[in-house]
Amino acid sequence: MIEDSFIESHVVRNGGNKVVLRLLSIAALIAGIFAINVFGFTTFGPGALYITMMLSVTIVFGFVFMFKRSYTEYEMEISNDNVNVAKILGQSSRVELMDFSIKDCIYIGPVTGDRYEEDLKKTGIKIAITEKKDYPISEEVWYMTYKEEEYVCMLIFDFKPEMYKVFRRYNPRNVAFYKAPAKTEKETGEENA
């Protein structure tokens, strides 16, 4: 009897240089609120302070909403032969991006493989759910291609070794060969202890 398989991958998109941009936008927000309040007080007197404070609070809430929406997470679930990919915005709203079967995949393999560049040219829809938007070309990053209506879709993801067994079970002909790294003496010694 074949056992059920369930693998979940959760990726938070690394902002990289967005940290500097966020700090600059916070500084601009504080300067803007200060300018609005000073301008309102000096031009219209103390009576305008209520209106400028309400405007400041509205701007802050809008900024917090936009700041939260810029936080992006990706979730990939492999349940038996089904792959489901979702994007989570601001830790609150979930958008389903892809839902397909491993059995329908044209090819599954690393981005370092010979086929990757050619498959990338044929792709109509490409989604990368890696830590960085510009993912590294390495053995740890794999991709899957499948056909959805008239489009060839490509999913690029961070590979986990336990995924390989599931890929081979449901689509053995279209999965690249994967050689698991050999355990070092230190790792084998820890297991025996």
Q: What pTM did the predictor assign?
A: 0.69
Over the stretch 10-38, which tens digit does the pLDDT of each residue have?
A: 888 765 556 677 778 788 888 888 888 88
Higher-confidence position of 46 and 184: 46
Averaged over 149-160, what is the pLDDT? 91
**Quick one: what percent of the chain has pLDDT higher than 90?**
31
Averaged over 99-105, what is the pLDDT? 93
SS3 27: helix
Which pLDDT score, from 0 to 100, does residue 143 have?
94
C-beta of residue 76 within 8 angstroms of C-beta of residue 9? yes
Which of 38-47, 93-102, 139-148, 164-173 has the least mean pLDDT? Answer: 38-47
* Mean pLDDT (the chain, rounded): 83
Report the alpha-carbon distance of residue 147 to residue 69 in Å, rounded: 31
- Ordered by start, the domain boundaries in the chain are 18-69
Over the stretch 34-92, which tens digit does the pLDDT of each residue have?
A: 888 888 888 888 888 888 888 888 888 888 877 776 677 889 999 989 999 999 877 77
For the cut 90, the answer to whether the pLDDT of residue 93 exceeds it is no
13-20: which pairs have CB atoms within 8 A and are 24 or more residues apart?
A: 13/72, 13/73, 13/74, 13/131, 13/132, 13/133, 14/131, 14/132, 15/70, 16/132, 18/70
Contacts of 19 (CB under 8 A, 6+ apart): none
Which pLDDT score, from 0 to 100, does residue 101 have?
94
Which pLDDT score, from 0 to 100, does residue 69 have?
67
For the cut 60, the answer to whether the pLDDT of residue 156 exceeds it is yes
Nearest of 96, 113, 85, 101 to residue 167 by alpha carbon = 101
For the cut 70, the answer to whether the pLDDT of residue 95 exceeds it is yes
For the cut 80, the answer to whether the pLDDT of residue 181 exceeds it is no
Structure tokens at 111: 């981005």
